[in-house]
Structure 1
């Protein structure tokens, strides 16, 4: 898989954080180098994927349009700790994302900025649950082939 070439207008950074269960979680961000971001975008990756490579081209495109983009590898995914691909409790993933994303939003430089979620596949389910958890907090969500169940009801 080819990596996206670094862009002179994009500042990319990586960091590990520790969740409430003591697991190290990989996080990354792409922000404009010169301009203040007009809004914040939080990416939720799919099953057995990770944010730093598979979501990089999407993140760079958003940054070129003036947005700051943040990602986190779920426990057991990408560069984060945990048994690879194993999800013991889906709510833990949503909780980790919620804590990390809201902490970014509460940083002084980000207060008052609009907040959007982007979720692909299983990340679409994560984004939906994040939005459901705090519907007034998020300004919108983009779901790309979301993993979700549609219940069909026959009404008499």
Structure 2
């Protein structure tokens, strides 16, 4: 389990709704030029992003990093595939687990830790529709109990 010590820039709230997150890993990002400046400005969107493993290396796809406003013609492409920096054992574990039916590698949050951009990725098993409804019922019940206790 990876522990988050940095400043959270973006979160993928939909991931916990769509997946049972079984294990998390902290990964570094390989960035180009002005991407880190856009990340520090908070111009990152994890919606619809996913991670894949190609040729023994992990990549994050569809993560949108907006072009830097003060950038010039050498600005980056917003949704390009970015390499994730993981240990070999972590990549091997992700390969083995993600090949099972129903498992996906999902980015959960982007944050800055010790001056470096990090991504928290999770190994998630897809939820069925009834699982999602059950989670919403439990959240609503917890909210109602908390509200009742507060009103006393």
Structure having the larger proportion of residues in helix: 2
**The structure with more strand, counted as a fraction of residues:** 2
Is this a same-fold pair by TM over 0.5? no
Structure number with greater CO (CA < 8 Å, separation at least 6) is 2
TM-score (norm 1): 0.27
